[in-house]
């Protein structure tokens, strides 16, 4: 990852039962420890009368890192722009300096008071603080109810994240190298059970047990021939956000592993086989944390659930009931016309929708995880769903992202590469989304009908250039696509639709999502990977309407699949 930033925010009471899994600081060689800086994390109070004070969490004192303090601002995203937390050095010597300065004055320079006034001053010097303490205690007792009502309002659900600089240093540790080598050697020998034993508890929770992990890895890689792998130098990052879960760790080690492999003839589609030969599994993220003196794998490089998809030449006949929600804008800002209103879900409503989904037990997955299940039979979590955002508007970063992370939900963002900046996200913001666990996918270059493109572009330019641009900017394979306005499946001919489907396959895309038709569907079919249906979420939609549409869609899909 090229950026040195991580999004870190806490959630309020919306996150029952979700705990930050923290690890101890990592062990490094003595020379590396000298380079470690003190980590300052600020707890920001909303009252302007309360100055922000940094809290030191020194690496030399690991017990102080047992709790990671993250910044929370109780303002809606549009009121509080995203900005870095400023850490300030506490000044602790000013009072004593002032006292010394006063004491240092010569006697003739200090005013002389009469003895009676001095005696009265000494009495009041003790009496006034006592009276103030009594008044303060009485005020606290009488105002307890008001304070109780104020706290929930002060820490409202809509929270803007602060971007906290992550400290990166290159380091070397024989224990880190040994743990990484053991894991990758196990992968090269396809010792899936041994790999499972080296995963952290957080990483293991992404699977439905050991058998699920072994079955998934065998289905995806069992027939491949692993040739070799190489790794980048080890970086120590503090703090670090796990992109698979959005959990934040005080410190982690990361590397980028490049795996070379070949597939037997007939196993993969030609485009997928070509991508494998060109380095599909190059620079995959590998991360470890130290837990009770043991190095554990948190992100598993080419073996991770977020590693690129290999497309089988003969896809299995699998259908899964997974709702994919379709959003555009998320903002509390006023809308100016009917179209903007229909495309804009308020930040308040969006937070309420995520809270409802979380209360109902829904788990967010991304497109890669969906195809892990469709192609390799990986078990999905209970109540899986996918959150998608079209176009890459600026409020996806300022409003949607903080709300997502507050709920520990991940999402997919479809970016129009020719529309960057101004009302849309900048490249830096897109990178921060990707580094925060969000998936980035293509939405063409110019947001045109790729079935009947205008004179200034072509279908191939819209598909290939947007893919290449995103890959160059992010350093990751882009395998998923979204049709602008749903075309060519609304008004174009069947022949034009088939040409677009063939182009997507040949250009290396794995799947694509549709604009909803006259009815919603949540049935995802491995036989039609480029026609994945979604459920539109419209502006002004009440929570009852949101939940009602979802439940009706799922009930209809269950009857269709014979699961009712």
Sequential DSSP letters for 81-140: ---BPPP-----SHHHHHHHHHHTS-GGGSPP--HHHHHHHHHHHHHHHHHHHHHHHHHH
Strand segments, DSSP code E, in 30-99 are 39-42, 54-57
Question: CA-to-CA distance for 209 and 421, rounded, in angstroms?
Answer: 43
Alpha carbons within 13 angstroms on the beta-carbon side of residue 20 total 22
Whole-number pLDDT of residue 103: 34
- What span, in angstroms and rounded, lies between the C-alpha atoms of 162 and 247? 15
Closest to 256 in 3D by CA, of 289, 299, 301:
301
Q: Please state, rounded to an integer, the average pLDDT across all residues of the chain.
A: 79
For residues 131-160, average pLDDT? 40
Domain ranges of the chain: 170-303, 319-560
pLDDT-derived band at 51, boundaries 50, 70, 90? very low
Model confidence at 140, in pLDDT bands (50, 70, 90)? very low
pLDDT at residue 563 in the model = 78
Given a cut of 80, whether residue 64 has pLDDT beyond it is no
Closest CA to 401 of 466, 444, 351: 351
Residues 481, 485, 490, 493, Cα dihedral to 10°: -70
Class of domain 170-303: alpha beta
Nearest to 411 by CA among 344, 482, 312: 482
pLDDT tens digits for range 88-109 = 333 333 333 333 333 333 333 3
Classified by CATH at the fold level, domain 319-560 comes out as TIM Barrel (3.20.20)
């Amino acid at each position: 990852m090229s950026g040195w930033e991580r999004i870190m925010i806490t959630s309020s009471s919306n996150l029952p039962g979700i705990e930050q899994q923290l690890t101890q600081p990592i062990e490094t060689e003595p020379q590396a420890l000298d380079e470690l800086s003190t980590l300052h994390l600020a707890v920001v109070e909303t009252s302007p009368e309360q100055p922000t004070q940094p809290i030191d969490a020194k690496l030399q004192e690991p017990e102080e890192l047992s709790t990671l303090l993250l910044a929370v601002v109780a303002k809606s995203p549009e009121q509080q722009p995203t900005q870095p937390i400023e850490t300030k050095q506490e000044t602790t010597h000013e009072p004593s300096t002032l006292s010394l300065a006063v004491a240092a004055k010569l006697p003739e320079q200090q005013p002389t008071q009469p003895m009676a006034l001095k005696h009265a001053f000494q009495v009041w010097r003790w009496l006034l603080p006592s009276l103030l303490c009594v008044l303060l205690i009485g005020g606290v007792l009488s105002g307890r109810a008001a304070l109780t009502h104020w706290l929930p309002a002060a820490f409202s659900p809509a929270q803007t994240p602060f971007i906290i600089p992550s400290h990166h240093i290159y380091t070397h540790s024989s224990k880190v190298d040994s743990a990484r080598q053991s894991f990758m050697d196990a992968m090269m020998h396809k010792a899936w059970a041994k790999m499972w034993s080296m995963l952290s508890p957080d990483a293991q929770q992404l699977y439905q047990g050991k058998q699920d992990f072994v079955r998934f890895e065998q289905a995806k890689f069992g027939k491949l021939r692993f040739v070799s792998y190489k790794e980048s130098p080890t970086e120590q990052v503090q703090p670090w956000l796990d992109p698979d879960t959005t959990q934040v760790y005080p410190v982690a080690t990361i590397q980028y592993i490049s795996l070379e492999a070949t597939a037997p003839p007939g196993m993969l589609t030609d485009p997928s086989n070509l991508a494998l030969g060109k380095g599909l599994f190059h620079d995959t993220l590998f991360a470890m944390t130290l837990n009770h003196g043991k190095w554990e794998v948190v992100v598993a490089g080419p073996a991770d659930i977020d590693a690129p998809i290999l497309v089988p030449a003969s896809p299995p006949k699998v259908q899964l009931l997974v709702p994919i929600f379709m959003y555009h804008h998320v903002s509390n800002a006023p809308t100016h016309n009917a179209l903007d209103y229909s495309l804009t879900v308020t930040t308040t409503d969006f937070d309420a929708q995520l809270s409802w989904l979380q209360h109902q037990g829904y788990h967010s997955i991304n497109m890669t995880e969906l195809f892990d299940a469709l192609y390799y039979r990986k078990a999905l979590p209970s109540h899986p769903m996918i959150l998608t955002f079209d176009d890459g508007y600026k409020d996806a970063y300022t409003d949607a992202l903080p709300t997502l992370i507050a709920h520990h939900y991940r999402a997919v963002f479809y970016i129009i590469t020719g529309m960057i900046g101004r009302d849309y996200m900048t490249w830096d913001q897109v990178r921060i989304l990707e580094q925060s666990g969000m998936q980035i996918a293509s939405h063409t270059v110019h947001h045109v009908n790729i079935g009947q493109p205008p004179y200034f572009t072509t279908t191939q330019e819209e598909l290939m250039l947007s893919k290449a641009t995103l890959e160059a900017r992010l350093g990751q394979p882009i395998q998923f696509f979204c049709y602008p306005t749903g075309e060519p499946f609304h008004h174009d001919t069947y022949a034009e639709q088939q040409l677009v489907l063939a182009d997507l396959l040949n250009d290396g895309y794995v799947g694509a999502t549709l604009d909803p038709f006259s009815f919603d569907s949540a049935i995802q079919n491995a036989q039609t990977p480029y026609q994945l249906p979604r459920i539109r979420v419209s502006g002004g939609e009440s929570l009852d309407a949101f939940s009602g549409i979802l439940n009706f869609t799922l009930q209809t899909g269950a009857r269709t699949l014979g699961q009712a």
